[in-house]
Chain A
């Protein structure tokens, strides 16, 4: 198993949010730079939105990794749905205030008045569409107080758009939309990701036709692409072990890609 040529590439495409796996593409790097610039501005709130799998969480993670060296940055990947729990976590992480007693919104505001930072603490909230409306209102009030700056990510759906309109229309000064990749970008994404893991030979197996097919199957969605390629290398791995004569090491056949798409549920037989 360890000797398999395709076991390592398979692991590369595991759907894990890790800043180390961040792939610099033209469009993504542009967005990331604009996000960094927005954080430096005196904005109360920054909205990062896009369809699932467009790289919001990855970008947030990357931002956290880059900024945490210079300022106070807190990231919450999973939403803290309970308001008191959210405020207590915030007090603990931002102000290092630990208590077993409940912290309500008034108490938190009093607490925040006791702390001063050179740079306003930055709180990154992923999957903000899962927060309740009441809690979102509190977050909005906190950002208005300018004691904490929030960067939130939202899935771009009709429902979340309404939330964004209701709560942040007048408060958010910067909103950045992430989109699915183009065909060319997707090819670069796949190859860069493989090359980052030193799988140069595997990266060269993908040609334009392959990336076009993958793009048509995944619509350029990074999460779907990861899922498809994980399945693809899983299948190739199986062939390598059981029917090595069927494995073409020069290029990936569309048949294997389509089989992976069937396995991943992107197409139905």
Chain B
């Protein structure tokens, strides 16, 4: 006997069942998309916050101190330039508490340098003869600071463009004593330092050639050719098939006025690989057009 009411109820249940998987799938997708969206929003906001915080709080003081100490040495040769001392002092006051924190990365970087080949690492250190204490204690003069400002002004655009090149702060202090503590500038530089130090740390932990190549490229971009050479060399030691690291090593040598060494390096590499890029670079170095 036909019972249409019962059939209708059964049909309703059937439709409900047939829609459940679709609804469940849709809900799952919506939830997943929301989670993903929130995750990205969080990550973006946190990264923005962290960078902002580092810009405002951590960076200025240590850099200024370091730069002060460094600039002392170079003060005699430097030319005076007008400095925005009020700004610098204000920022310094704000950042006093976090000075130690900022200094730590530089120490790590020094430690990391211990892993570098002696040739490349020791020479800059010997030249500068900088110690941790010296970095902290050495005061800066107004002349130095003025000089620093001028230099920063020149470098600024490069650094602002390449925010990832941060490791330089310590490197800058250790290697090139020219850079002086200017508040605006130091903020950017320190941020780069922290990041590149992280990369260096990661590299020493996992010996990933991608990281060392990255560091080499960054140092080269920041005109820290010795460090660029060191890291390119480390990359080559780990994996001799990475052409880019050979090229950076050669370019760095060339920039360090070691053209003969660069040419011999490239020649050997070209003999082994017949690389077109290396050949072109060799030509450039020979022509002096690099």
Contacts and interface: CB of A to CB of B under 8 A. Distances in A.
Contacts of B8: 259
Interface string B7-26: 11111011101000000000
B14 A242 contact: no
B276 interface: no
A258 B9 CA distance: 12
Contacts of A234: 2
Contacts of A74: none
B4 interface: yes
A262 B2 contact: no
Contact of B2 (A238, A258, A267): A238
Nearest to B17: A269
Interface in B60-95: none
A258 B4 contact: no
Contact of A267 (B4, B9, B14): B14
A128 B2 CA distance: 35
A129 to B, nearest CB: 34
B14 A263 contact: no
Interface size band for B:
10 to 19
Nearest to A268: B14
B14 A269 contact: yes
Nearest to B11: A259
Contacts of A258: 11, 14-15
- Which among B11, B13, B15 has the highest number of chain A CB atoms within 10 Å? B11
A235 interface: yes
A93 to B, nearest CB: 42
Report the contact-size class of chain A (Cβ under 8 Å from the partner).
Answer: 10 to 19
Contact of A263 (B7, B9, B13, B15): B7
Contacts, number: 31
B14 A262 contact: yes
Contacts of B7: 235, 259, 262-263
Interface in A95-116: none
A239 interface: yes
A255 interface: yes
Interface in B3-47: 4, 7-11, 13-15, 17
A255 B9 CA distance: 12
A267 B10 CA distance: 10
Nearest to B16: A269
A72 B4 CA distance: 50
A47 to B, nearest CB: 40
B14 A235 contact: no
A232 B164 CA distance: 72
Nearest to B7: A259
A269 B4 contact: no
A268 B18 CA distance: 11
B4 A235 contact: yes
Q: Which of B2, B7, B10, B17 has the most CB of A within 10 A?
A: B7
A238 B4 contact: yes
Interface in A226-260: 234-235, 238-239, 242, 255, 258-259
A269 B10 contact: yes
Contacts of A269: 9-11, 13-14, 17
B253 to A, nearest CB: 74
A258 B2 CA distance: 15
Interface string A125-146: 0000000000000000000000
Contacts of B11: 255, 258-259, 262, 269
A6 to B, nearest CB: 12
A239 B7 CA distance: 12
B12 to A, nearest CB: 8
Nearest to B15: A258
Interface of A: 234-235, 238-239, 242, 255, 258-259, 262-263, 267-269
Interface of B: 2, 4, 7-11, 13-15, 17
Given A235-B2, A235-B7, 4 more contacts: A255-B11, A259-B10, A262-B10, A267-B14
Q: Which 7 residue pairs are nearest across A and B when measured between Cβ atoms?
A: A269-B10, A269-B13, A269-B14, A259-B7, A259-B11, A262-B10, A238-B4
8 contacts: A235-B7, A238-B4, A255-B11, A258-B14, A258-B15, A259-B10, A262-B10, A269-B13
